[in-house]
Amino acid sequence: AWYRKSCALEELGRTAEAKAALAKAGLETTAEEATVEAAVPKVISGQPQEPLVLLEEDELEPPLHQTLESLLFIEVGVNSIMAVDMIMHIQAELKTTPIPLTLIFEYPKVKEA
């Protein structure tokens, strides 16, 4: 749960809070380190692979957020336990705004929520 929260905070540009959430999850690897590790060529069966080309989000066709908006939460891998966990994290951030636990089931598409 803390890892997912750190990813969301990282996307919002709240890096310090994302690092704190990662620390609570018991993880120390940042997204930048993971990107660098993914770019390093791996050797499988003695043969080096082609280096990975890292793309920015605006270079993707179509943009990633547009692809995800049309999907159902269940297609993205959100089950009922994850849905409740996600709503609880949102509720923790928006303390004065009541959010029903059934939100994801009332609005099953990412774009609707």
Query: What integer is the mean pLDDT of 65-91?
Result: 79
Q: What is the per-residue pLDDT for 62?
A: 65
Q: What gap in Å lies between CA 16 and CA 58, rounded to an integer? A: 24
Please tell me the pTM assigned to this model. Answer: 0.39
Whether residue 37 is predicted with pLDDT greater than 80 in this model: the reply is no
Residue 57 to residue 66: CA distance in whole angstroms:
11
Cβ–Cβ under 8 Å, residues 77 and 65 = no
Bridge partners of residue 72, in order along the sequence: 109
Q: Which residues pair with 43 in a beta bridge?
A: 48
